[in-house]
Structures are given as C-alpha cells and as structure tokens.
Amino acid sequence: MRLYGTEITSRLMLGTAQYPSPAVLADAFQRSGAGIATVSVRREAGAERAGAAFWSLVRELGVTLLPNTAGCHSVKEAVTTAQMARELFDTAWIKLEVIGHADTLQPDPFGLVEAARILTGEGFRVFPYTTEDVVLADRLLDAGCEVLMPWGAPIGTGLGLTNIYGLRTLRAQFSDVPMVVDAGLGLPSHAAMAMEMGFDAVLLNTAVAKAGDPAAMAEGFAHAVQAGRLAWQADPMEPRDMAAPSTPVIGRAFLE
C-alpha cells in the first residue's frame, strides 16, 4: 500500500488515545503490527503537561506517525493545529478533522474542503476524515487530497459499517483513490467487511483501547484485515437468492 508515495507494510492503522497505560498501548501496537499511529496534537499535549513523555513513547513504537486535528471545530483551528503538528513531528502528513456536529462528530463538509485546500496549498499531505458522500469526496480530491478516509460510523460508537450502499458506491466511484475506513468499527468482523469491499486499510482506536484485553483485540483486528484483503483479492463469488448444490447431480443414483 502506497500513500502519498510512501510504502506502508500494514493495512491496519491504530489510534493512541484512551489506553489504560503506556505499556498496554505499546503491547497493542506490537501485536497488531500496525503500520501507522495517529496522534492528537491538542488532546495529548494538553493533558497534565505530559506531552513530551507521550511523544517519546509514540516515537518508540517504530511506526509511521499521522498527526491529526481531532477536536477542531473550525477551519482556523484545524489549520493552526496542522501547522503545529508539522513543527512537532517534522512531517507533512496530517489527518484532517473539522467537526461540524457535537453529538455525532460528523465532519463539517464545507470547512473540511476549505481546510484541505489551504493545507495542500502549504505542502501538507492531507488525509481527510469524511463521510461516504460522493460529492464531498470529489470536492476533496479537487482540493488536492490524494487519500480519502470515510467513516464507517460515528467516532467511538463501535457500530461498524452503517451505510453499506454509500461505502460501496464511494469505493466504486473512485476506484483508483486510496481509501481508509476510519471510525466506528467495533469488531474485527467490521474491519474484514471493509477490506472485502475493496478498501485499502482501516483505522480504529476505541475498539482496541477500550477492550478488556487491548493487545488481544489489536491482534484480532490484524488477522481480520489480512483475511478481508485476501478475500477481496480472491474475487469472491456473487451472492444469489436460490440455493445451488455444491455436489454434482449428474451421475447420481436414482432409486425406485
């Protein structure tokens, strides 16, 4: 998988928030084999002045870092946070979030496109957190994005893929664009389903961090992503309404 010209060996991406301890976080990443870690500049840096220790821990994970603008509700907030992230991590990669609704955490489509256009103009490699809206996706690509990150469900809900039709349509409409299903996944089966639909990767946080055994859940998601990818590559059979015998009927004995 290549994202903005960079080869990523794993199609599983993990967030770094809400883990019960740094040791559990590190164990989850090790067992998942995740290739990318997302980090929230605003939330982690502001928590009890523990930012420096947290950055050190994340760097020791040995994975590609994808800073994000989580918690930003305006274009100005998101752009400023992205600029801070570039200085902190010396990377032009940014997961762009511009939240438009406080309860559902749904992206603000207008602010998202505006912020994406500003950041790509400044040389950022933008990973926009978006909905499965085809028109919005088209506008983000026009703004300079080369990757799309549609949600499966609202952040932290664990509901899985709530709009199968919309996600399938988006995948089919932009078949050559790398796409990561981001947010709302609660079980490894949800990740496998996304990969079976042809998405390139999945990103999740809460489903692992809040599990009884985060490391085991992370490993479960890793297996699910691999299984789903293999299933998509194998060109799965089309579902049908009527039964079809798997055992040949030709040559079957007929008894009177």
Residues 6+ away with beta carbon under 8 Å from 237: none
Strands 12-15, 149-150: pairing is unpaired
Round to whole Å and give the CA distance between 126 and 143: 10
Give residue 73's Cα distance to chain centre.
20
Round to whole Å and give the CA distance between 200 and 215: 23
Selection from 208, 212, 227, 233 nearest residue 34 by Cα: 208
Q: Residues at the annotated binding site for 1-deoxy-D-xylulose 5-phosphate? A: 156, 183-184, 205-206
Catalytic residue, from 11, 31, 95, 139: name it: 95
CB 218 within 8 A of CB 208: yes
Q: Where are the beta strands (DSSP E) in the chain?
A: 2-3, 6-7, 12-15, 36-40, 64-68, 93-96, 125-130, 149-150, 180-182, 201-204
Both tokens assigned to 5? 């010209």
Both tokens assigned to 22? 């740094």
In the block, residue with structure tokens 């506008």: 139
Active site annotation includes 210? no
Active-site residue set: 95
